Amino acid sequence: MRVGILAVQGDFAAHARVLQRLGVQARLVRQADDLDGLEAIILPGGESTAMLKLLAPGGLMERLRAFVSERPVLATCAGAILLARRVLGPEQPSLGVLNMTAVRNAYGRQIDSCIRLARVRPEFAAVLGAELETVLIRAPRFQDLGAGVEIVAEADAENGCEPLLLRQGRILAASFHPELGQEDKVHRWFLAQAQTALQSR
């Protein structure tokens, strides 16, 4: 399978290392042409404001919007912010294909970054296990989930629970960094789903 990783900026190398462990050689995507022939894409962590600037020249933003509207996507942290329908903290443009609001840096600054365990919803436990280790770095919060968005994993918060991993059709979006974790479960699941999507095309 031909998987790309958006590499205008961010921890694309960490994602590439995980895919390499799983036997997949990824292509780094820096320009619109780099999307040609790809079957799935990863949008990595990084700084979403910087990524937006780097997506503007050469029509990459529009090509990427078309690509993520129909192909399997794994988006982590800043990548998920790029996908969100709406972004707060502050407001900024996005690809707008994932039906939720992402609030940037919602848990505070780097000093508040942490590693915690998330509970996997029972319907996904068969593939992901009961718990997921989540590395949260200046993480966004996902809220106002709309139609078609499923919560895959969540953690306790002040006012009940909050989602850390979402699925909407072919899209997986994490507020944490599975690429910095010690398990490759999320990537494995993403590749399996992408494989299924490919076969049903």
Binding positions for another protein, rule: CB under 8 A: 7-14, 30-31, 45-47, 49-50, 52-54, 57, 77-78, 89-90, 104-105, 108-111, 113-115, 135, 137-138, 177, 180
Contacts of 14 by beta carbon, 8 Å cutoff, 6+ apart: 44, 177, 179, 180
| 77 is a catalytic site residue | yes
Shortest Cβ 201–another protein spacing (Å) = 31
| 114 is a catalytic site residue | no
* Residue 17: C-alpha distances to residues 23, 26, 27, 72 (Å): 10, 9, 12, 19
Amino acid at 138: R
Shortest Cβ 136–another protein spacing (Å) = 9
- Of the residues 15, 154, 162, 177, which is catalytic? 177
Phi, psi of 18, rounded to the nearest 5 degrees: -65, -50
Shortest Cβ 116–another protein spacing (Å) = 10
CA distance 50 to 53: 5
| 39 is a catalytic site residue | no
- Of the residues 77, 154, 162, 187, which is catalytic? 77
Active site (catalytic) residues: 77, 177, 179
